[in-house]
Amino acid sequence: MDWKTLIRPEIVQLKAYTVDRKGVRIRLNANESPYPLPESVRRRVLAALETTEFHRYPDPEAKALREVIGEWIGVAENALLLGNGSDELIQIIATTFGEEGGVVLFPEPTFEVYRIAALTLGERPYGIPLTDDWDLPFPEILEAIRRLHPRVIFLSYPNNPTGNCFTREKIEQILQESSGIVVLDEAYFPFSQKTFLPSLGQYDHLLILRTLSKIGMAGLRVGILIGHPALVAEINKVRAPYNVNALSQVAARVILEEWPLIEPQIAQIVAERDRLYRKLQTIPHLTVYPSEANFFLLQCARGGAALWEHLMAEGILVRRYPDHPMLKEMLRVTVGQPEENEVLCQAIHRFCSQE
């Protein structure tokens, strides 16, 4: 028997997510925080983990962590659902509301997991190219909503990988036009401080995603879904049992309880982002797009693939998109610590200044 014939064609066409870290000394590819936990917080986490019962399953509802997150965000505990990173929550949303052949709509380029989730579930991913300034294309999106009646619409806000927040009025219009679920992925909210959270009371088909991965807890894999409690209760039926492990539940709770010690790191990243933007703008043959997140999208006139190879040779890992038609010659660079950003700028300048 040839087991390969059992794999769906759309799965065969996908590529597994892999990262080659060999020889890398500076990692600016994954939009993680460049700062480790403050030592006092780290000690508190380790102390809390000592009392964790490893022989028992974790709390399936992650109640203690949801209470802390609810207080931190400012929403009721029953408006929250936690996942093993936002990736799992995106999969859960697509499972709950999708159907075979049903349309999942999103702009492009954007976070690739929206497309992957739809494909793996036999749904129909439908991407609409962004405008030249990376904003939502109107009236194309409204026409697609009226014609295709998408089951789910995903909007990354700020958008990954372009870094910008879409025009708010356009998103409001999408919420008013859509009869399906609209998901605002606010993974980078800590850096933009722009949110649709106050709109949850107005739109019962709105879901908001947040994450702890961008603010120093990427290794814990804790994603956050926020929505109307009745809607969240239905989505919770699809969640796998014990999906957030005991270590992550304990560590995330302790870290968030020490939020006043973590928050200054976000301010540092924002300040460094603005400084790095000004410095990158001075490099010849380089286009850097404005960002409200913790990363930049770059385009080099001398070739993005060649620049990526040059940076790798110098031990600097950034993100590239060789298979995306709109991003083939572009790179996404995470804001690192000041000294890392200096090394990055020097390496890019050497490449772009070559005769």
Mean pLDDT of 77-97: 97
Distances, alpha carbon 339 to alpha carbons 262, 276, 342, 344, in Å: 20, 11, 5, 9
Instruction: Put residue 149 in one of left, alpha, beta given phi > 0 → left and psi -120 to 50 → alpha.
Output: left
Could you tell me how far CA 160 lies from the centroid of its own chain? 7
Residue 145 is given by DSSP the state H
Mean pLDDT of 156-171: 98
Q: Is the pLDDT of residue 355 over 70?
A: no
Contacts of 21 (CB under 8 A, 6+ apart): 27, 317
Q: Is the pLDDT of residue 297 over 70?
A: yes
More confident of the two residues 353 and 190:
190
Q: What is the pLDDT of residues 52-70, one digit of tens each?
A: 999 999 999 999 999 999 9
**Which helix (H) or strand (E) element contains residue 183?**
strand 181-185
The two three-digit tokens of residue 267, written as one number: 């301010």
pTM score: 0.95
Measure the CA–CA gap between 349 and 280, rounded to whole angstroms: 9
More confident of the two residues 18 and 98:
98
Q: Which amino acid is at 298?
A: L
Question: What percent of the chain shows pLDDT beyond 90?
Answer: 92
Query: What average pLDDT is seen over the chain?
Result: 96
Question: What percent of the chain shows pLDDT beyond 70?
Answer: 99
Classify strands 26-28 and 295-300 as parallel, antiparallel or unpaired: unpaired
Query: What is the SS3 assignment for 53?
Result: coil
- Nearest CA among 153, 161, 150, 157 for reference residue 111: 161
pLDDT given for residue 353 in this prediction? 86
Contacts of 104 (CB under 8 A, 6+ apart): 94, 98, 114, 115, 117, 118, 123, 124, 125, 126, 150, 151, 152, 153, 154
Q: What is the pLDDT of residues 222-271, one digit of tens each?
A: 999 999 999 999 999 999 999 999 999 999 999 999 999 999 999 999 99
Q: What is the pLDDT of residues 104-160, one digit of tens each?
A: 999 999 999 999 999 999 999 999 999 999 999 999 999 999 999 999 999 999 999
Q: Is the pLDDT of residue 5 over 90?
A: no
The structural domains of the chain, ordered by start, are 3-37+262-352 (3.90.1150.10), 48-259 (3.40.640.10)
Q: What is the pLDDT of residues 192-206, one digit of tens each?
A: 999 999 999 999 999
Q: How many CA atoms lie within 13 A of 303 on its CB side?
A: 9
Query: What is the SS3 assignment for 255?
Result: helix
185 and 179 in contact (C-beta within 8 Å)? Answer: no
